[in-house]
Amino acid sequence: MTADPITRMVACNLCTGCGACAGAFPDAIRLVDDPVNGRRPVVAPGLRGQEASRSAVALCAGGATDWRSLDRSDVIDRDWGPVLAAWEGWAGDPELRHRGSSGGAVTALGLHALTSGLADGVAHVAARADDPRLNEAVISRDRAGLLRGAGSRYAQASPAERLGDIARGDEQTVFVGKPCDVASAQKAMQADRALAANIPLTIAIFCAGQPNLVATDRLLDRLGVPKGAQLTDLRYRGEGWPGLMQASWVDENGDNQTSDGIPYAEGWGRILQSERRWRCRVCADHTGAFADIAVGDPWHAPPSGDTDAGRSLIVARTPRGAAFIHDALRAGALVAEPRSRDVIARAQPNLKATHGAVWGRRIAMRSLGLATPEDRGQGLFRLWLGLPARQKLQSVAGTWKRVLRERLWRRVTIPGSAR
């Protein structure tokens, strides 16, 4: 196997595609959209690539995170990462609320960071204009830019690709990403004082895993988009809670067409989640433990229809996150009511069991000689012990079956990478 540690992370199925490595070393590491394996880094050949890879792997949360660095005081913190306070609410701006995946809280917080003077820009992802199936990492400096990224993007995304630009610039930039993206950003901030000084706030979005491009194309088939059509828009969430999945395209006559919408439950539950990458299935943080603020769906109070007025679950994980939420509430950027600190367990009841199952999955992988992530100090074994006997067994035996069925022992290679 190659001595290059970033290529090895990809080969061993540990890469999350966050983009931190490419962001830090853009001249030596680039990201490639692989239809099956997802958005993954390719390291330049030769000494330049080797040196960059050895430095970049220290920024990678795909291989390891350290929960011992987090301030956790009780069982709620140990299960979910730090929870200083929680709210349920929505964007004070009606358009942001309507366009957002749930209540538009992430977009509202980003906009408040700009208007309050906390930040000059917000790093996030948006659909690529030339191919809305794919995402691009952007830094928005106004409302219009933020609205480009409103609503979930259930496709491979690498917002940490912009960390290098943030570090090399002189602007204050809020960073928004999935839990794995924020965990890598946190490692990068610890390693680079200039970067840390330029990021006043991090916001994580609850995540159940990233589907690949194969899944996106299946969704387009279900939406009735003709093969080879010029896709102009692909919406996964938003315009109500949880929103409909819907596509627009230009047909062979040059006319604009829009598909009928399908419910979130069908699009995610029956199409997209089947193609989540294996690294997502052994992820131990779906709720952004390393962020200042984490935002997700309050499924404990589910919408009654497909396009209800949205609501968000908003969690303060650090003192600066809590202070910013309070400031947003005072300014009217957010409208929210406090919730008890254990609300994540009620809002996302499946995730605690998922985290417990991860311990069994990793044990099964190690027994077969496969590499696994290391989340030091998280206490996954304790969560696994809390599972019913049948789920304990399934987490191990089911993984053995999946490894054999999907041949997960095979090395992942990306076109253009070292072999």
pLDDT score at 38: 93
Put simply, whether the predicted model's pTM sits higher than 0.85 gets the answer yes
**Would you list the domain boundaries of the chain?**
75-211+275-347, 350-406
pLDDT score at 419: 46
Distance CA 195, CA 173 (A): 10
- Which residues are within 8 A (CB) of 86 and not within 5 positions of it... i.e. 6 or more apart? 313, 314, 315, 316, 338, 339, 340, 341, 343, 344
pLDDT score at 352: 87
Distance CA 68, CA 395 (A): 25
Distance CA 112, CA 106 (A): 10
Per-residue pLDDT of the chain (419 residues; tens, 9 = 90+): 457 999 999 999 999 999 999 999 999 999 999 999 999 999 999 999 999 999 999 999 999 999 999 999 999 999 999 999 999 999 999 999 999 999 999 999 999 999 999 999 999 999 999 999 999 999 999 999 999 999 999 999 999 999 999 999 999 999 999 999 999 999 999 999 999 999 999 999 999 999 999 999 999 999 999 998 999 999 999 999 999 999 999 999 999 999 999 999 999 999 999 899 999 999 999 999 999 999 999 999 999 999 999 999 999 999 999 999 999 999 999 999 999 999 999 999 889 889 999 999 999 999 999 999 999 999 999 999 999 999 999 999 999 999 999 999 999 999 876 54
pLDDT score at 415: 83
Q: For residue 383, give the H/E element and its range.
A: helix 380-385
By DSSP bridging, strand 307-308 and strand 312-316 are unpaired
Distance CA 285, CA 304 (A): 28
- Integer angstrom CA distances of residue 59 from 54, 56, 123, 305: 10, 5, 18, 42
pLDDT score at 2: 52
Distance CA 12, CA 413 (A): 9
What's the CATH code, domain 75-211+275-347?
3.40.640
pLDDT score at 349: 87
Distance CA 183, CA 294 (A): 12
pLDDT score at 258: 97
pLDDT score at 264: 94
DSSP 170-197: SS-EEEEE-HHHHHHHHHHHHH-HHHHH
pLDDT score at 1: 44
